[in-house]
Amino acid sequence: MKKVVYIASVLAILWIAMSFSDKSENKGKLMIEFQHYVNDEVLKLDSVVYKNELGQNYTVTNFKYYISTIQLKKTDGKEISLPGYFLIREDEEESKKIVLHNIPVGDYTGLSFIIGVDSLHNCSGAQSGALDPANAMFWAWNTGYIFMKLEGKSPVSQSPGKLFEFHIGGYKQPNNCIRSVKLDLITKKQVLSNATAQLLIKTDVSEILKTPLSIDLSKLSSVTGFHNAGSIADNYSDMFSLPEH
């Protein structure tokens, strides 16, 4: 009798192990790499002079933003939700590479995400990881997060030191600056078992200064509160594209 129980126990353990193994083998990874540009020029901090839509010169000294609520869309229409908050920053190369784990194998035709931090985590106070206040993306006075930060210099700026700064955040209406992004892949992306697929996303900084609102740096060089923040958020909502397509 003991032998039968022992054999049954061994079989049960093997079945559980095989179940976990099967699940593991049906999952893969996806690395999303964000590449920063100004129009078709690679973004370089502090050194390269760019022109906005009005022909005004500017340089970029700081650029970072939050990505969260990532969803992948499969060919059958099913959406896979992936938790996490990611701070993408130009001055930290590794931050521009997001590795998503435990993705079901299959073919994917698109992805979506939000620029910013949802209301729940904006109301949870200072946190850790990507949401750590040490990242200088938390408004102590507003108890919330800055979703996108763009700083630089322009000879036409009327701010001290010819600086310009756009610190955009806020989740409450009518000043909600969370924006959704949806990208469709012309060529499907295949996720294989125990492998890492790669996807490149182009982030165009110039879009922050144009469409639908063309930013005149001689008149608007500082947005650090709710005034004009929504317009800047509307601009940056379409700064992402898929360069491979």
Six token digits for residue 215? 């930013």
Q: Residues 244, 184: contact at Cβ < 8 Å?
A: no
- For residue 4, being part of any structural domain is answered with no
- For residue 23, being part of any structural domain is answered with no
Question: Would the pLDDT of 61 be above 90?
Answer: yes
- For residue 108, being part of any structural domain is answered with yes
User: First-to-last CA distance in the chain?
Assistant: 65
Q: What is the pLDDT of residues 197-235, one digit of tens each?
A: 999 999 999 999 999 999 999 999 999 988 899 999 999
Helix (H) or strand (E) holding 110: strand 106-115
- For residue 1, being part of any structural domain is answered with no
- For residue 18, being part of any structural domain is answered with no
Higher pLDDT, 8 or 163: 163
Rounded CA-CA distance 172/169 in Å is: 10
Rounded CA-CA distance 198/149 in Å is: 26
- For residue 67, being part of any structural domain is answered with yes
Rounded CA-CA distance 82/129 in Å is: 17
| Residue 73, domain extent | 28-241
Query: CA separation (Å) from 176 to 146, 225, 245?
Result: 12, 12, 31
List residues bridging with 200 in a β-sheet: 33
> What dihedral do alpha carbons 153, 156, 160, 161 form, nearest 10°?
40
Q: What is the mean pLDDT of the chain?
A: 89
| DSSP 8-state symbol, 48 | -
- For residue 183, being part of any structural domain is answered with yes
Domains: count for the chain: 1
Rounded CA-CA distance 52/162 in Å is: 16
Q: What is the pLDDT of residues 154-186, one digit of tens each?
A: 999 999 999 999 999 988 888 899 999 999 998
| DSSP 8-state symbol, 122 | H
Q: What percentage of the chain reaches a pLDDT higher than 70? A: 86
